[in-house]
Structure 1
Amino acid sequence: MSDLNLARRIARYACALSIDDVPEQVNARVQQRFVDSLACILGAYDAGPVRTAVAVASGTPQPSSTVFGTGLRTTPELAAFANGIMVRFLDYNDGYMGREPGHPSDSIPACLAVAEAEGATGSELMAAIVVAYEIQMGLQDAASLNKRGWDHVNYVNVAMAAAAARLMKLDEAQTEQAINIALSAHIAMRQVRSGSLSDWKGCSAANAARNAIFAATLARHGMTGPSPVFEGEMGFFKQVTGAFELDVDGFGSRENGQFAILRSLTKTFPTNGELHTAVWAAIDLRSKIPDIDTIAAIRVETSEFNLRVLADSPEKWRPLTRETADHSLPYNVARALLDGDITIESYTAQRMADPRAIALMSKTTVSEDAALTKLFPKHLANRLTVTLASGEEFSSERISGPGSLETPMTDTDFERKFRRMAAPHIGRVAQGRVLEFVSDLAKQRDFQPLFEAMSREPASDAAREQA
């Protein structure tokens, strides 16, 4: 065990990983996650929290970093915040479940904002993304935050501070200070994902990334932070998580080839990742039930985590906000039974107020199954049993589904997802330019062509190109 404190060991890894140490397989995964994030961004162009973030950013014009869909340039912190909300708003970006859940792609828009401001190359951007995934997912494996009432974005603080410091070419000591400042000064509470969820559910990670960039900027100019931030008497271990071990020496390297991004998961539905298998189970059963209105009872058996997080309050049985609905097991099961799919439109006010969905939720119970909890977090399993008024029962158990490690999404799947989300905003030609840019991301030296291709086109022009 090294005698260096944990923040310094993380900083050493962030600074030392060479671009040449990243295998082609990992770079290919970065490109997939990049396309996936761009798909999420396009789908969130009209979101209320995005409009708020853009309005705030417009008050600070600066030629550093670009806000997607606007042409606006602002500080890297404000661009990271606005673009990060776009990635996260739909709950459609990638995820990972260790002892703590999280979305490692939350760092992608922030890395891009810093890379643009610093004049970094595409390969430097990709290496920073790899570093952010490695650190965040390592921390997610190491310790739970949610069980103690803290939000998973506290790990974004650490990962993004290190990635931003790398892109700014800070040394090991400065990077340690960036981590110290980011973590000690910006602890987020789990209340953001409890009860009736607010706009901030989709903004919390973007805010963590924004704070991390600011922390790295302060460290660049000589600011120091509380140390040791993890092990100290009033530090992260004692105040937040409890003591844990993080094997930084085991992080992805040329020698072991075990990069964390290879274990990240992606989404086929714009909703919470832990309930995807419940949606698949509902879709399975829908084809077997002749009349949905004859359902007398719905029983969902799930893991302890899902029961505690996705069926934890009355609001999950009567969601009034999109953020609550996409984190509700009862609602997503009801909607999937009714529609045979979950889409962005599943969370409109009209759909949430649908009397048929409300009726199905009133017939739904959710309970823990110890066997499914035992599978967690390797498998995010759910079992669904539907009883009809006749007494006939139908059951479906799904251990995993598309986007899992067992059945990963392909390049074709990501392109299809991207084009589906892009269609209302940019035409086929622009879509092709975006995909071509990302396919050659490592060789890019100017990110403006990407932002230009992602710029929203007049509705008539985009529609004409799709035809």
Structure 2
Amino acid sequence: MTRDMAGFAVTLGYGDLPEALLALLRRSFLDTMGVAAIGSTTGLSRIARKGALALFGPGEAGAARMLMDGRRVSPAGAAMAGAFMVDSIDAHDGTTPNKGHAGSAIFPALLAVADAERARGRAITGRDFALWLALAYEISYRAGQVQHATCPDYHTSGAWTAVGVAAAAARMLGCDREQIRHAAGIGEYHGPRSQMMRCIDFPTMVRDGVGWGAPSGVTAAYLAREGFTGAPALTCEGAAAEPFWQGLGESWLTLDHTHYKAYPCCRWAHPSIDAARDLMRENGLTHDRIAGVEIRTFHYATRLAGHEPKSLDEFSYAIAFPVAAMIVRGRIGVGELTEETLRDPEILRISRATTLIDDPELTARSVAQRWAAVTLITTDGRRFEAPPRTPRGDTDQPLGDDEIRAKFHGFADPVLGAERAAEMERLASRFDTLGADGFAALSDLVLTRTEA
């Protein structure tokens, strides 16, 4: 297999995909659709869909249904609305070396293009969609690694997922090698190089940039098909990029670096949440006995702060409050994504009594993984300490299939109904084996209106 990105994108076939990668894509399909289901209930998602309806009418490219909504807009509009929807609940898959997320942009974007193509009479199978997903993930991951290595600022995931989406969508549209090169370049040039730490320090609805990364990639593919030029993408070509593209088609960063989330908040908080949960359980502690919490972690995580979040956006980019929620309630799930939870006096008491410690050693270690150590201080002055740890969900501590299914149903069942969610699970868990009719049925399940 060539190491050249465009050559890889134009020649890769379904038969080149290892079974382990297909299994991962099935898992990500189910996991992402669960997040989309609960995401469809958020104010952020409703605003994004309203904006898409106002701004992105269908054109000659065809109409695509918005994720979990059913109303038709352009493929770019559906990609935008869907990406904001998934990103509105911080529980989707991610990649630690890139400090970001790919599936939240890739699934909404490729589903939108596929739906527009289907509306124009094209039969699309699960094998087709698996191939496009594999391209988008792998190209996004590698472009993201180049960007982090060559750019001084920490940009959001939208910056590098725009490149992967552009290349995969161009393949979907039948583009040749040169058109795919240009699509990647257009997506990179116009993708949102937004400042991730701005959203950490001042949490709002802009989130991880995928709301514009996804439509930027889709738009790039359609422009390239019409002859618009934009190559080279500097994250894909040139001396600085070349080391990160070695082994393309032989090794898969998607397999090595995809993680899944146990909780719907920034993953930088997860090792602290896990540690607090285990300390409470192992020592038979109750929240009324907790007088204070100390969290030693890496620098970026201390900037999550969030002792008194006032919105879901602030909750998502917090560390003190989610840890306190785990101490008080023993869980962080759909029930904690409410206004009532943000006002819970006991959670607020413990959150305010949480001290964040910027630990240089853990900062140095938090490259391939994210590290934190937690100490609980009881009302009688005792200290219960957990050693430094990394979050569950990485390849060394994977979430089990039963946990992924439980997470999916916990998110999806209240919104979609248990029957629809069960059918979605059945089809998504083997989506790459579906023929055109079966994949159309799955598409209809994820692209029609929720009850939210």
- Normalization by structure 1: what TM-score? 0.85
Q: Deviation per CA, 1:278-302: give whole Å up to 9, x if none.
A: 1111112223364534433321011
Post-superposition Cα deviations, 1:165-202, rounded to whole Å, max 9, x if no partner, equal: 11112111111111221211233321652323111216
- Tell me how far apart the structure 1 counterparts of residues 395 and 154 of structure 2 sit (CA, whole Å): 29
Residues 133 and 261 in structure 1, CA contact (< 8 A), matched pair in contact too: no
Residue 187 (1) aligns with residue 192 (2) = yes
- CA 1:353–1:458: 2 relative to 1, 3 Å: closer
Query: Which residue of structure 2 aligns with residue 248 of structure 1?
Result: 245
1:429 to 1:357, Cα distance in 2 relative to 1, 3 A: closer
The two structures, once aligned, show a CA RMSD in angstroms of: 2.8
| Cα distance, 1:435 vs structure 2 | 2.2
2: CA distance, partners of 1:300 / 1:17? 46
For the residue of structure 1 that corresponds to 2:385, the secondary structure is strand
- Give CA-to-partner distance per residue, 1:147-176, whole Å, 9 cap, x none: 625323211111111111111121111111
Q: Deviations over 1:325-378 (max 9, x none)?
A: 221111111111111111233242332233333332332221233443343233
Secondary structure of 1:79 counterpart: helix
Find the counterpart in structure 2 of residue 275 from structure 1: 269
The residue type paired with residue 216 of structure 2 is: N
Q: 1:58 aligns with which of 43, 53, 56?
A: 53
Distance 2:389 2:353 in 1: 24
Contact conserved, 1:61 with 1:72, CA < 8 A, in 2?
no
Q: Which residue of 2 aligns with 1:116?
A: 115
Paired residues for 1:67-146 under 5 Å: 67-98=66-97, 100-106=98-104, 107-118=106-117, 119=122, 120-144=124-148
Partner of 1:464: none
The correspondence for 2:155, drawn from 135, 150, 153, is 150
Change (3 A) 1:26 1:223: same
User: Secondary structure, in 3 states, of the residue corresponding to 1:188?
Assistant: coil
From 196, 199, 202, the counterpart of 1:196: 202
1:444 equivalent in structure 2: 435
Higher relative contact order (CA 8 A, sep 6+): 2
Instruction: Tell me which amino acid in the other structure corresponds to 1:428.
Output: A
Offset at 1:132? 1.4
Alpha-carbon distance in structure 2 between the residues aligned to 1:190 and 1:457: 32
Superposed CA offset, 1:34-92 (max 9, x none): 01111111111211122122223334256532223332222111111122222221111
What corresponds to 1:36 in structure 2? 31
User: Contact 2:75–2:112 at 8 Å: present in 1 too?
Assistant: yes
Unaligned runs of 5+ in 1: 3-7, 460-467
Q: Please give the per-residue CA displacement for 1:395-434, whole angstroms capped at 9, x wherever unaligned.
A: 1235234322123223333222222222113333322321
| Contact 2:14/2:127, CA 8 A, preserved across alignment | yes
Structure 2 residue matching 1:69: 3-state secondary structure: coil
Q: TM-score scaled by structure 2?
A: 0.87
Q: Does the CA contact (< 8 Å) of 2:200 and 2:317 recur in 1?
A: no
- Unpaired runs of 5+ in structure 2? none
Q: Residue 10 of structure 2 corresponds to which residue in structure 1?
A: 15
Which aligned pairs between 1:20-419 and structure 2 lie closer than 5 A? 20-59=15-54, 60-61=57-58, 64-98=63-97, 100-106=98-104, 107-118=106-117, 119=122, 120-144=124-148, 148-190=153-195, 192-201=198-207, 204-225=209-230, 227-230=231-234, 243=240, 245-251=242-248, 253=249, 256-287=250-281, 288=283, 290-307=285-302, 309-311=303-305, 316-397=306-387, 399-419=389-409
Query: 1:141 is matched by which residue type in structure 2?
Result: Q
The CA distance in 1 between the partners of 2:63 and 2:388, in whole Å, is 46
